[in-house]
Each structure stands twice: as structure tokens, then as C-alpha cells.
């Protein structure tokens, strides 16, 4: 059985609390483990039979290219104990040879040469872990060489894990990844990758082995709000069960950075939360990471640390107050709209373009998982001409949302400001709504005439 599955089983056995979720997850992993054992035994039988036929036809004993022939069905307890003892001994010897301090692993493509990005990110990690030890693949060029030069310049201890091509042939880079992961303390190590499938392999294994991940890629020219919205659309269409998914455009990110003392790149961001077991959450995060990459996303941070999550979500909750700092002294006029998911990207980008056309500062945030977003207009209430432009924007956005078969209000409700759009949005249904209002309020004493003129 694979090491990650064994670790997961042991962890769940320790964490059993009598809940149905924990017990069901343990039963699933146990069943998967038994299935894998049966498959392995079948492969051993086929291999042994093939070896026997090899001897019969060639007169010589068949030997594997590497390793030894082991029939696990016939392994004794003493043999298993001896193998475990030798493995533990080798691991202990390796750990003694490694320098002390939190291990930070980096693997990257040889064609990646953005030294500013690599040095900047490694400086950020070093700020958090001053006594870090840098682990990398020792490539003679590309991201890993740049990281090695960074370590030399910063006097950071570094250890190179070079692939053993002679021993492992084509599997050497993947074996190297396993060796690097094997020495990373769970929850302390950070993986950074620049490159292609070999780096993605390491990222994937790190998520399975519960290693904290920091993933960053070169910036893309097409990193836009439209890309972020398209990622949301694909996520919902693929049925990934996100608990919540929030959008912050570049203006909003700039505001929360200043207000909440963060250092997020000033580009559109999506904040997501996944619920479920550790395994299912890791799978959901990995699927979303692939979608984000396909849509031009340049950075996907994934963490199970409650403190890190709460800090980021608190920044999102403070977005209104943070946005007010973009224009000190201005008042915020918040409006919202909600459209079908298929029209989300078009509606949000159109709203940004319209705000620029009217020369309005309008940061956008949104609960985009249901097609809802908020635009906060920062206006000078003492300037009648600016107020007129803000009202023009609000009316235009309401009409746009309705024309896209959405609603002029996602969650703010219908008040005096939007009641004139009710007829356009609801049509004949407005008469029935007014009749319900009259039945509940025959004397017309509840907000008389405010929403329904005839009530």
C-alpha cells in the first residue's frame, strides 16, 4: 500500500471521535487499502509465473533491472520487521546529516528565469522562517540555479537533491521529489514550483502528504478579472462543492493590502473555502488549482491552517472599510447585481469598463459563486455632477443585469432607489405581488406607497 494511504489510515485511527464522518472516511481508506493489497498480490503472482516461464524457455534465472524480487504473500513478520528497521535506520542517518531548521523545498523548470520573482518570494518565506534550510534539485540552470544563487547571497544553508539517473532512469526526477518530501516536517515545509509536470507531481504529492504548500508561477499578461470570473464559472459547472467563493478585483486587493497589512499581488483574487475530510478538501483544491491555471491564474495558495485562513477572510470582511481608504473623505455608495453564472464574466468586466468611462473609483467584490457582485462607488457627495454620474452608473448596471436575465439586486433588497426597476424585472408578476401585499396589509399602513404605488 502507498505511504500516503498508510499515513492517512493511521491518522484517522488516532483521530476517531465516534463521528460518522470520521468512521466512514476510515472505512473507505481501509477498503481502498485492501483492494490495493489484492492488486499487488495479483501482480506478484503474474510476475512469479512469468519468471518461471522465463527460466523454462531460456534456461537462466530472470532478475529485475533494479531492486530485488519479493513475494509479499510469503513475507514473515521477522522479514517485515527487519525491512522496517533498515528503512528507519537509513532515514535516521539522513536526518542526522541534514542541517537543523525548517526545510523549504523548491523545484522548478530549467526554462524559468524570472529571478526577481524567485528572489522576492524566497525573501518572503525567509522573513517567516529566518533559520530556514533551502532544499532544491540542483539543476545547472533555471529556477533551481537562481534559488541556489539566492541562498548564497543571503547566507542561507542549502541542500541539493540531484536526481540519480543511473539508478532510477526516467523515474529519477520523481524519486528525487519523494526524497525531498521525505525530509519535510509536515505542516512546516513549503513547496514552490516553477515548471511543468514534474513540479506539478511534487505539488500533488505534497498536498497528499499534508505538507504546507506555497505555489507561485510567472505572471501572465492575461491575468484579468474576466479570467477570474471564468474560473468561477468552470468551477460551478464542474460541480466542485465549494463552501464559498469570493472575488476581489485589483482595486479591492490594493485596499485590503493597505488596510489589513497584507502583501497580496495587486491583481484580481478569488478566495475559496472547501469543506469535508482532509482527503476530499485536498482533491477539491487540486481540481480548482488546475482550473485556475487553465484560466490564466498565476498563483494558487492552499492552506489548512486556521490562523492563515481567518486572517485572509477577515481581510475580505473588512473590504468595505478598506475600500474607503482609496479615496479619503469620499462616501461609499454600494450597489449590487446578480446574473446567471454564464454571464458573470461579461457583466463584471462591463461594470469595470463603465466605471472607467464615467471616471468613477469603483472597487468590486462579490459572492460570485451565485453570480452576485457588489460595486462600491467612492463619490464626493458635495459634487452634484459626480453624484449624477454615480446615479447613471447604478441605473445602467441595473438595466444590464436585467437584460442578462438577472436581477437588479442580489441581496440588498428593493428599496426606494430600485423600485422603478421592479416593473422591468418582474413584469406582470408585480401585480400579483401587490395583491399579496394588500392581503397582508389591507389598510396600507406598512411602508405605504414606498414600493407598490397602489398599496
Query: Whole-angstrom Cα distance, residue 25 to residue 7?
Result: 13
The number of residues making up the chain comes to: 455
Q: State the pTM of this model.
A: 0.51
Query: Whole-angstrom Cα distance, residue 345 to residue 339?
Result: 10
Q: Is pLDDT above 90 for 260? A: no
- As a whole number, mean pLDDT of residues 207-225 equals 45
Residues of the chain with pLDDT > 70, as a percent, come to 73
Range name among 83-87, 278-282, 399-403 with the lowest pLDDT average: 83-87
Instruction: Please work out, in degrees rounded to the nearest 5, the angle formed at the alpha carbon of residue 222 by the alpha carbons of 217 and 226.
Output: 115
pLDDT at residue number 34: 77
Query: Whole-angstrom Cα distance, residue 10 to residue 278?
Result: 13
- H or E element in which residue 123 lies: helix 115-128
Yes or no: say if 259 and 398 are a contact pair by the CB < 8 Å rule: no
254 compared with 71, residue with greater pLDDT: 254
Query: One fold for both 103-317 and 330-436?
Result: yes
Q: Considering only CA atoms, which of 308, 304, 310 is closest in space to residue 11?
A: 304
Q: Is pLDDT above 90 for 397? A: yes
Task: Give the model's confidence band at 428: pLDDT under 50 very low, under 70 low, under 90 confident, else very high.
Answer: confident
Give the Cβ contact number of residue 62 at 10 Å.
14
Q: Left (φ > 0), alpha (ψ -120 to 50) or beta: where does 377 sit? A: beta
171 compared with 390, residue with greater pLDDT: 390
Q: Considering only CA atoms, which of 443, 349, 358, 364 is closest in space to residue 410?
A: 364
pLDDT at residue number 453: 55
pLDDT at residue number 365: 92
Q: Is pLDDT above 50 for 279? A: yes
Task: Give the model's confidence band at 105: pLDDT under 50 very low, under 70 low, under 90 confident, else very high.
Answer: confident
Yes or no: say if 113 and 147 are a contact pair by the CB < 8 Å rule: no
pLDDT at residue number 81: 63
CATH number of 330-436: 3.30.70.2740
- As a whole number, mean pLDDT of residues 382-406 equals 92
- As a whole number, mean pLDDT of residues 373-392 equals 92
79 compared with 438, residue with greater pLDDT: 438
Per-residue pLDDT tens digits for 189-215: 334 444 344 454 455 455 444 444 444
Task: Give the model's confidence band at 78: pLDDT under 50 very low, under 70 low, under 90 confident, else very high.
Answer: low
User: Among the ranges 4-18, 57-71, 157-171, 176-190, which has the highest mean pLDDT value?
Assistant: 157-171
Q: Considering only CA atoms, which of 424, 450, 420 is closest in space to residue 437?
A: 450
What are the cell numbers at 179?
526524497
Fold (CATH) for 103-317: Alpha-Beta Plaits (3.30.70)
- Provide the mean pLDDT of the chain: 76
- As a whole number, mean pLDDT of residues 337-351 equals 91
Q: Is pLDDT above 90 for 74? A: no
Task: Give the model's confidence band at 393: pLDDT under 50 very low, under 70 low, under 90 confident, else very high.
Answer: very high
Domain boundaries, the chain: 3-97, 103-317, 330-436
Q: Is pLDDT above 70 for 166? A: yes
Q: Is pLDDT above 50 for 61? A: yes
Distances (CA, A) of 386 to 127, 331, 355, 390: 44, 12, 12, 6
Range name among 61-65, 122-126, 129-133, 219-223 with the lowest pLDDT average: 219-223
Instruction: Please work out, in degrees rounded to the nearest 5, the angle formed at the alpha carbon of residue 360 by the alpha carbons of 356 and 366.
Output: 85
Yes or no: say if 346 and 414 are a contact pair by the CB < 8 Å rule: no
Range name among 81-90, 134-143, 146-155, 267-276 with the lowest pLDDT average: 81-90
Task: Give the model's confidence band at 378: pLDDT under 50 very low, under 70 low, under 90 confident, else very high.
Answer: very high
- As a whole number, mean pLDDT of residues 232-254 equals 87
Amino acid at each position: 500500500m502507498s505511504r500516503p494511504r498508510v499515513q492517512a489510515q493511521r491518522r484517522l485511527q488516532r483521530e476517531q471521535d465516534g463521528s460518522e464522518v470520521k468512521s466512514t472516511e476510515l472505512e473507505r481508506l481501509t477498503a481502498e487499502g485492501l483492494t490495493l493489497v489484492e492488486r499487488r498480490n495479483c501482480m506478484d503472482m503474474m510476475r512469479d509465473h512469468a519468471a518461471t516461464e522465463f527460466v523454462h524457455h531460456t534456461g537462466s534465472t530472470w532478475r529485475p533491472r533494479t531492486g530485488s524480487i519479493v513475494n509479499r504473500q510469503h513475507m514473515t513478520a521477522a522479514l517485515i520487521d527487519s525491512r522496517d528497521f533498515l528503512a528507519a535506520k537509513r532515514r535516521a542517518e539522513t536526518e542526522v546529516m541534514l542541517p537543523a531548521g525548517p526545510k523549504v523545498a523548491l523545484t522548478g523548470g530549467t526554462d524559468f528565469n524570472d529571478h526577481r520573482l524567485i528572489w522576492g518570494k524566497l525573501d518572503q518565506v525567509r522573513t517567516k522562517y529566518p533559520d530556514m534550510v533551502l532544499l532544491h534539485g540542483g539543476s545547472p540552470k533555471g529556477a533551481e540555479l537562481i534559488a541556489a544563487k539566492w541562498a548564497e547571497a543571503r547566507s542561507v544553508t542549502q541542500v541539493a537533491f540531484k536526481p540519480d539517473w543511473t539508478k532510477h532512469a526516467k523515474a529519477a526526477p520523481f524519486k528525487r521529489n519523494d526524497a525531498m518530501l521525505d525530509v519535510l516536517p509536515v505542516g512546516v515545509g513549503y513547496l514552490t514550483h516553477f515548471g511543468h509536470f514534474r513540479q506539478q507531481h511534487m505539488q500533488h504529492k505534497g498536498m497528499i502528504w499534508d505538507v504546507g504548500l506555497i505555489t507561485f508561477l510567472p505572471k501572465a499578461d492575461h491575468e484579468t478579472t474576466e479570467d477570474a470570473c471564468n474560473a468561477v464559472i468552470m468551477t460551478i459547472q464542474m460541480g466542485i462543492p465549494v463552501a464559498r467563493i469570493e472575488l476581489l478585483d485589483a482595486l479591492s486587493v490594493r485596499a485590503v493590502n493597505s488596510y489589513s497589512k497584507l502583501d497580496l499581488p495587486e491583481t484580481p483574487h478569488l478566495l475559496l473555502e472547501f469543506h469535508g475530510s482532509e482527503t476530499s478538501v485536498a482533491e477539491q483544491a487540486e481540481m480548482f488549482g488546475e482550473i485556475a491555471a487553465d484560466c490564466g491564474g498565476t498563483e494558487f495558495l492552499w492552506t489548512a491552517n486556521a490562523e492563515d485562513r481567518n486572517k485572509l477572510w477577515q481581510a475580505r470582511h473588512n473590504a468595505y472599510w478598506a475600500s474607503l481608504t482609496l479615496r479619503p473623505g469620499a462616501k461609499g455608495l454600494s450597489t449590487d447585481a446578480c446574473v446567471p453564472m454564464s454571464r458573470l464574466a461579461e457583466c463584471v468586466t462591463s461594470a469595470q469598463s463603465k466605471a472607467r468611462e464615467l471616471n468613477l473609483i469603483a472597487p468590486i467584490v462579490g459572492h460570485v459563486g451565485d453570480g452576485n457582485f457588489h460595486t462600491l462607488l467612492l463619490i464626493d457627495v458635495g459634487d452634484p455632477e459626480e453624484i449624477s454620474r454615480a446615479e447613471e452608473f447604478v441605473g445602467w448596471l441595473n438595466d444590464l443585469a436585467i437584460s442578462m436575465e438577472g436581477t437588479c439586486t442580489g441581496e440588498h433588497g428593493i428599496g426606494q432607489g430600485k423600485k422603478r426597476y421592479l416593473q422591468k424585472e418582474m413584469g406582470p408578476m408585480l401585480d400579483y405581488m401587490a395583491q399579496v401585499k394588500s392581503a397582508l396589509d389591507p389598510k396600507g399602513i406598512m411602508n405605504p406607497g414606498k414600493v407598490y404605488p397602489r398599496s
